[in-house]
Structure 1
Amino acid sequence: MSGEPRVEFQDLGARLIRRHTENGWVALRDDLLDRALRSFRPSAPVRGRHGGGDFFVAADALVALLRRSVDAEPQAAASDITCETDGSDVLVSVTIRLVAAYGAHLVTLADAVRARALVELQEVLGVLAPEIARIHTHVHVEDVHRDPRML
């Protein structure tokens, strides 16, 4: 007799847990899907070309490579980089926003950053190189810092 109430209690407990879990999971699942859909940002394709034909690079990957190249410039750091493509996914412009070191000659620095960006674009996008000269490369200095650790 003492075993029967325990089994009944376990059944009741299991039913309550299942009911709670199922309801909770549905609410949680909907929230997770909504959050995941909001956080997913597809990266636009950027067309490149090599001997085997055309290929595509994710714009986010191209931006990361450009950032690494720009950040190698000792007196500058990229604060933002954006790419714009045409209807055929060919890169038409790159905008690089910089933080510059105090005392740097800004025109010379902008020219050095632009040159680095064009070399990186040529390496990544391949034989679209003749068209590289047509890519508008905008360099904007948006801040200047005395502390080189801020770069």
Structure 2
Amino acid sequence: MTGGTAGPARGADRLAAATAAMRQHTDHGWEQVRGDVVAAAMKAFRPSSPVRAVHAAGSFTVASEVVVTVVRRALEPLPDASADAVRLSTGEDDRLERIAVSVVAAYGAPLLSVADEVRRRTASALESVLGAGALGSAAESVVEVDVHIGGVEVDPRRL
């Protein structure tokens, strides 16, 4: 290295110079920076798509992220599996048509039993957040709950 300060002292000098340069900005300059940051954050914001729910008083919508969170929480106590991904598909009227749940199962667990329990807990969670009417009836199309065993974990502590 030729001339000047080396190592951490050089980094401290650069930080001090950068701090001094930032302090020279006027309030107007800071407002401009703040506006740019807010604009960037607004561009990054992606609202959650709505999912139609039904109760005795009528219909309402629930954010899809809320539905996914409720399903994930319902699957947390599973002894032989853990949710890896939850994906929703809605129709034109925002009614839930299909939910796909990908799980990682414990090695040696009976996979059909794991899938059945995931399907049962998922349907129960959906009914609790969206109402029984939102899941369809025998006369309508019923929400499909697809379960995908995406992996097997030997160490149950890692589920």
**Shorter-chain TM-score category?**
0.7 to 0.9
Equivalent-residue separation in structure 2 for 1:24 and 1:134 (angstroms): 54
1:63 to 59, 63, 68: 68
**Corresponding residue SS for 1:74:** coil
| Corresponding residue number in structure 1 for 2:113 | 108
TM-aligned CA deviation for residue 24 of structure 1: 4.2
Matched, 1:54 2:62: no
Equivalent-residue separation in structure 2 for 1:99 and 1:130 (angstroms): 26
Tell me, which stretches of 5 or more residues in structure 1 are unaligned?
Answer: 1-16
Matched, 1:35 2:15: no
Alpha carbon RMSD of aligned pairs, Å? Answer: 2.0
Equivalent-residue separation in structure 2 for 1:145 and 1:47 (angstroms): 35
Query: Quick one: percent identity of the two aligned structures?
Result: 35
More helix by share: 1
Equivalent-residue separation in structure 2 for 1:100 and 1:27 (angstroms): 48
| Corresponding residue number in structure 1 for 2:149 | 141
TM-score normalised over the length of structure 1: 0.79
Matched, 1:150 2:155: no
- Residues 82-112 of structure 1, C-alpha deviation per residue, up to 9 Å, x if partnerless? 1111111100000101011111111111111
Equivalent-residue separation in structure 2 for 1:145 and 1:127 (angstroms): 34
The size of the alignment, in residue pairs, is 134
TM-score normalised over the length of structure 2: 0.76
Tell me, which stretches of 5 or more residues in structure 2 are unaligned?
Answer: 1-22
Runs of 4+ more than 2 Å apart: 17-25
**Corresponding residue SS for 2:89:** strand
| Corresponding residue number in structure 2 for 1:88 | 93
